[in-house]
Amino acid sequence: MAKYLHLCVPAFLLALTFVTTSCEREDPGPLQDSERDYTETDFDRLEMGNAFRVTVEESSIYSIHIRGDRRNLDDLDVHKSGSTLIIRFDKDGSRKHDTHIDITMPKLRAANFSGASVPIIKGFNEPEDALDLFLSGATKAQLDATYNRVKTVLSGASELIMTGEADALDTELSGASVLSAFSFPVRTATLNAAGASSGQVRVSEELNAVASGSSSILYRGDPEVNADTSGNSSVNQD
């Protein structure tokens, strides 16, 4: 028994040393501040993830300014595919320091944010145009804009706060996602909430609402309501 313990103790110490060394290697240490500007232009769509903190603002000038830890910025891939600006890290993995992305652009037609990103979209006044917005992976977004039509798809416990206005809103919610759009009045809305999701909308004329899987939809205004509920879900006027 003593011989067995004698053999186990060095093995345990070796394993502990390995774990400690691994943890030390994963610690990136203090922030190494860095800022970079990119020259891509002529894009009206965005695609990015990796827990970025993003601000997108309307402007007649294209600009991309990124700040954060130098090692993170060294790993960034910034490129265009057609009219889509794509920003992502080349290597997967958790990162201790935030990466901040500031973008200005004349028009925004679509955006796809994932991986616990925190985007803020503001200033777009496009009453004749449409916006498609996709959020996934616990992304928390804010939109302050005017469009003719807005389509939003939220999944994986994502959240969206909307201010501004549109003629029509089309929303799909799943996986405990949350839409807060009481401050985004629309004429018509179609809202499908599933998987313990919740949506709040302000509608003046027509609301088509489907709620399932313990989801809830609250609306303000006095629209004609077509509601379909199942699985302990609800559609109610606030």
Q: What is the reported pLDDT for 93?
A: 62
Q: What is the reported pLDDT for 26?
A: 53
Q: Which residues fall within 8 angstroms of residue 127, CB to CB, at 6 or more apart?
A: 146, 147, 148, 167
Q: What is the reported pLDDT for 179?
A: 99
Mean pLDDT of 82-95: 86
Q: How many Cα neighbours within 13 Å face the side chain of 136?
A: 8
Q: What is the reported pLDDT for 23?
A: 40
Q: How many Cα neighbours within 13 Å face the side chain of 147?
A: 26
For the stretch 214-227, pLDDT in tens is 999 999 999 999 99
Q: Which residue has the higher pLDDT, 1 or 171?
A: 171
Mean pLDDT of 151-169: 99
Please tell me the CATH code under which domain 124-238 is placed.
2.160.20.120
CA distance 144 to 218: 20
CA distance 217 to 207: 11
Q: How confident is the model at residue 130 (pLDDT cuts 50, 70, 90)?
A: very high
The boundaries of every CATH 2.160.20.120 domain in the chain are: 124-238
Q: What is the pTM of this model?
A: 0.86
